[in-house]
């Protein structure tokens, strides 16, 4: 648990989820934290400062231009006081202002003036969360050092269903406790690293109601994101359409098509230390998706579709100039000749490491909770399995186990390889 001296500045912005912030403040106090609250003007329409003052035992700050509080540059003192700035809820508007570096109220000013750990729990309508502008802002905030918790999916106050719900206060507290425990034990081999992971399938539209896709559930990629966050990394998960909650402490960018995933991956890869391509990306898409539903034609027994190749995301990342290239880990889902295909893919696409799965094995792979893997990586110190490029390939077999345990093993191997690359 956090030590009693841990100081949390709780920022509350103008969302209906602000009512949960009162519970969060109480839980933080019970966990032994000192808590001070800053509210935006809009937040006060949903919950009163008096409520938060009663729960924390501290005055609530609401204005940057408070003459009494600013007599001694109070906002700077408050920025220095905090060990952690936690914004819950964080609205789309607040995220946009922070991503742009604005300081037009007390809360955004404190964020720019503080060197504290910065965490936010987004909360907004599902369409707002899915909007490309919000996705860009979320990615920029992660690049700037923010840790995003959620959002969760489910019923929303507006009647919609989808991603955008603020995590429950208990889940937010648990994420903070986990981060504190990692920090206190020193078991954070990925601390300070930026990790980008792709997960799930892509969907390639044929017409307004049909698409090409595959059986990927996204479970392995999500397990990797959870493992990377637990090891202290700042994690961005580029996710195709799946029915999974976002892991705590992970920023999720939702995409549909391979082209959308490629754009997000290339934008984030250059700011990443480690890139893991775990998504099952469609190799082909329709040359031109039909504007209207494709109808059956009486008397015709077949339908001809012209498909074109999608960009190869993992190869594109691996081909980045060395100065901007992360350590690149690929995945290979095969039904036969696992080792041969994995070695070929690692060499041909110039990857640093590859995790190969035999998805034909019953109870493993797509949709299952368990998996097994053959892991291969470049290791110049070993010469028994030299690749055509002159590097030696080392390998390790990971026996069938839960995807969570397998993900942690893969992360530890990737981090060890990355450290060896940096400090030969």
> Which CATH number is 285's domain given?
3.40.50.10300
Residue-by-residue DSSP string for 31-44: TT-EEEEEE-TGGG
Could you tell me how far CA 161 lies from the centroid of its own chain?
A: 21
The DSSP element (H or E) to which 117 belongs, if any, is: strand 117-122
In a domain? residue 393: yes
Closest CA to 257 of 276, 285, 236, 215: 285
253 with 373, same domain: the answer is yes
Burial of 243 (0-12, 13-18, 19+ CB in 10 A): exposed
pLDDT band per the 50, 70, 90 thresholds, residue 183: very low
In a domain? residue 131: yes
In a domain? residue 318: yes
63 with 159, same domain: the answer is yes
Quote the pTM value: 0.62
Residue 349, annotated as binding a ligand: yes
Range of lowest pLDDT (13-27, 232-246, 379-393): 379-393
In a domain? residue 295: no
The mean pLDDT value of the chain amounts to 85
Residue 219, annotated as binding a ligand: no
178 with 202, same domain: the answer is no
| Dihedral pair phi/psi, residue 82, rounded to 5° | -75, 135
pLDDT band per the 50, 70, 90 thresholds, residue 329: very high
90 with 200, same domain: the answer is no
Share of the chain above pLDDT 90, in %: 45
151 with 222, same domain: the answer is no
Residue 295, annotated as binding a ligand: no
What distance in Å separates the CA atoms of residue 233 and residue 420, rounded to the nearest whole number? 18
89 with 47, same domain: the answer is yes
pLDDT at position 165 is 83
178 with 227, same domain: the answer is no
248 with 171, same domain: the answer is no
170 with 133, same domain: the answer is yes
- Number of CB atoms found within 10 A of residue 419's CB: 12
Domain harbouring 167, CATH code: 3.40.50.1950
350 with 232, same domain: the answer is yes
220 with 129, same domain: the answer is no
Domain count, the chain: 2
Tell which wins on pLDDT, 412 or 335.
412
Indicate the residue among 185, 209, 234 that finishes a domain: 185
Tokens of 383: 């010469």
Closest CA to 106 of 8, 10, 24, 5: 10
Catalytic residue among 33, 111, 158, 417: 158
Residue 20, annotated as binding a ligand: no
Please list the residues that pair with 198 across neighbouring strands.
238, 277
In a domain? residue 298: no
In a domain? residue 412: yes
Interior angle at CA 209, CA 206 and CA 215, nearest 5: 75
Residue 277, annotated as binding a ligand: yes
Burial of 322 (0-12, 13-18, 19+ CB in 10 A): exposed
Asked if pLDDT for residue 184 goes beyond 50, the answer is no
pLDDT at position 424 is 62
178 with 198, same domain: the answer is no
Please list the residues that pair with 161 across neighbouring strands.
155
Tell which wins on pLDDT, 383 or 23.
23
Its domain, for residue 398, covers 194-289+304-422
Range of lowest pLDDT (48-52, 226-230, 265-269): 226-230
Residue 118, annotated as binding a ligand: no
Indicate the residue among 131, 152, 185 that finishes a domain: 185
In a domain? residue 12: yes
In a domain? residue 2: no
Tell which wins on pLDDT, 274 or 182.
274
pLDDT band per the 50, 70, 90 thresholds, residue 364: low
Tell which wins on pLDDT, 69 or 243.
243
Indicate the residue among 166, 185, 204 that finishes a domain: 185
Residue 314, annotated as binding a ligand: yes
Confirm whether 158 is a catalytic residue: yes
């Amino acid at each position: 648990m956090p030590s009693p001296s841990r100081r949390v500045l709780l920022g509350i912005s103008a969302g209906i989820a602000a009512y949960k912030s009162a519970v969060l403040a109480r839980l933080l106090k019970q966990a032994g934290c000192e808590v001070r609250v800053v509210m935006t003007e809009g937040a006060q329409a949903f919950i009163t400062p008096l409520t938060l003052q009663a729960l924390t035992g501290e005055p609530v700050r609401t204005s940057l231009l408070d003459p009494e509080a600013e007599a001694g540059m109070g906002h700077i003192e408050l920025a220095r006081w905090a060990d952690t700035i936690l914004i819950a809820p964080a609205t789309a508007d607040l995220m946009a202002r922070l991503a742009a570096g604005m300081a037009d109220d007390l809360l955004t000013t404190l964020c720019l003036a503080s060197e504290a750990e910065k965490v936010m729990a987004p909360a907004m309508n599902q369409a707002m969360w899915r909007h490309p502008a919000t996705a860009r802002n979320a990615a920029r905030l992660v690049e700037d050092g923010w840790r995003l918790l959620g959002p969760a999916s489910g019923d929303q106050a507006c009647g919609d269903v989808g991603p955008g719900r603020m995590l429950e206060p208990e889940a937010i507290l648990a994420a903070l406790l986990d981060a504190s425990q990692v920090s206190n034990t020193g078991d954070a081999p990925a601390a300070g690293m930026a990790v980008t992971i792709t997960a799930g399938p892509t969907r390639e539209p044929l017409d307004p109601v049909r698409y090409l896709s595959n059986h990927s559930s996204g479970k392995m990629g999500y397990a990797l994101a959870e493992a990377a966050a637990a090891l202290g990394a700042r994690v961005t998960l580029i996710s195709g359409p799946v029915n999974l909650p976002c892991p705590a402490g992970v920023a999720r960018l939702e995409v549909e098509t391979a082209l959308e995933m490629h754009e997000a991956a290339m934008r984030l890869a250059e700011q990443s230390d480690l890139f893991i391509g775990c998504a099952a990306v469609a190799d082909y898409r329709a040359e031109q998706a039909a504007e209207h539903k494709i109808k059956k034609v009486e008397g015709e027994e077949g339908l001809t579709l012209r498909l074109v190749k999608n960009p190869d995301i993992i190869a594109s990342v691996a081909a980045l100039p060395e100065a901007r290239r992360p350590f690149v880990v690929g995945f290979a889902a095969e039904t036969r000749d696992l080792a041969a295909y994995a070695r070929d893919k690692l060499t041909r696409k110039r990857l640093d490491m590859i995790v190969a799965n035999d998805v034909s094995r019953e109870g493993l792979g797509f949709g299952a909770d368990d998996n097994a893997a053959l892991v291969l990586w470049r290791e110049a110190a070993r010469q028994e399995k030299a690749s055509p490029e002159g590097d030696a390939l080392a390998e390790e077999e990971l026996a069938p186990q839960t995807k969570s345990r397998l993900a942690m093993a893969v992360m530890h191997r990737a981090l060890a390889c990355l450290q060896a690359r940096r400090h030969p």
